[in-house]
Structure 1
Amino acid sequence: MPKQNKPNALIWLLLSIAVIAIDQWSKNWVLTSLPEFTAIPVIDGFWNWYRTYNTGAAFSFLSDAGGWQKYLFTVLAFGISGLLGWWLARTARGDWRTALPYSLVIGGALGNVIDRLVHGKVIDFIQWYWRDHYWPAFNIADSAIVAGAIGIALFGLLGGKRAAGSAQQG
């Protein structure tokens, strides 16, 4: 019996490209339209545009490390994106629970890599707050990474329960 080729989920990389495009477009808008370190209210009491920069990772991790962290985070982003891309190639095209979050993480990671390589730092501009409590500023790429990571965890847990349930029935 001849081996049939199953369509893989690499088509989902188009979503990664869309995330990168939207992320870079938004950061270009920020660089040309927003003043640095000045809050511009979007929803008073909750949301500002606030142009700032991050030389580190999430929550400014290693932001004051002296510059070497740019290369570490670039290598990590390429490595994680490559691994997720390899997994996409082995994922069925219709398995959106796997492909969607992987694609979001890839797009977000590469969007921030572009910033690190072009600007030496990541451009952040979305600032959420409540009274005197401010969430660290973030961007579209960060949002895609977080949504993808939540999807990987959530669908992984749900998928594990579903697989365990069908194994018990079988």
Structure 2
Amino acid sequence: MIKNVMNTGLSWLWLTLLCLVVDQVTKHQVVGSMELYESIQVLSFFSITYVHNLGAAFSFLADQGGWQRWFFTSIAAIASIVFIIWLAKTPKDKKLLSVAFALLLSGALGNLIDRVLFGYVIDFLDFYIGNNHWPAFNVADSMIFIGAALMIFDSFKNSDKESSASKK
């Protein structure tokens, strides 16, 4: 069984665990050392700003009556299961795709933990230009973005290989 696991994308679960720990530790540090809505300027375009996100990306549905907590919790739980299945079905030699799934899984789990424990996601990375701020996000959100980008890159990389093979 262990030998079979090591021949799949599940061999990258260490990366999922590492990113999940970084996500949770950074959130814990922010909550433990800052007041809600407190902001610490780091660079002229970046601050650590402690906020709660009751919604999804860009605070989507944050102003609803509370049902969104369980809706987004369910989505994150289902997505996590799907990413584990995809990791299990991905051959070990598909490293980029395995890394993408591992990162997506860590992000989904990081935000799932917040929703289950608190009812919201802890965000704190705040980028801006002048008074124009992007919505604050966290390490888990970053892993989701990077994982999705790698997945897209992998799909283009593989479609190029398939095109080259069909021309021969």
Range of TM-score over shorter length = over 0.9
**2:78 match: secondary structure:** helix
- Cα distance change on mapping 1:5 and 1:63 into 2, 3 Å: closer
Moved over 6 A (4+): none
- Number of residue pairs matched by the alignment: 165
Provide Cα deviations, 1:43-97, integer angstroms capped at 9, x if missing partner: 1x21101000101100001111211111111111121121121111111113111
Gapped runs of 5+ residues in structure 2?
none
Gapped runs of 5+ residues in structure 1?
none
Partner of 1:155: 154
**2:51 match: secondary structure:** strand
How high is the TM-score relative to the length of structure 2? Answer: 0.93
CA contact under 8 A between 1:70 and 1:120: conserved in structure 2? yes
In the TM superposition, 1:71-90 aligns within 5 A as 71-90=70-89
Partner of 2:38: 38
Percentage identity across paired residues of the two chains: 36
- Cα distance change on mapping 1:11 and 1:148 into 2, 3 Å: same
Write the distance in 2 (CA, Å) between the matches of 1:107 and 1:6. Answer: 19
Write the distance in 1 (CA, Å) between the matches of 2:146 and 2:6. Answer: 27
In the TM superposition, 1:98-113 aligns within 5 A as 98-113=97-112
One-letter amino acid of the structure 1 residue matched with residue 73 of structure 2: T
Offset, 1:103: 0.5
Partner of 2:124: 125
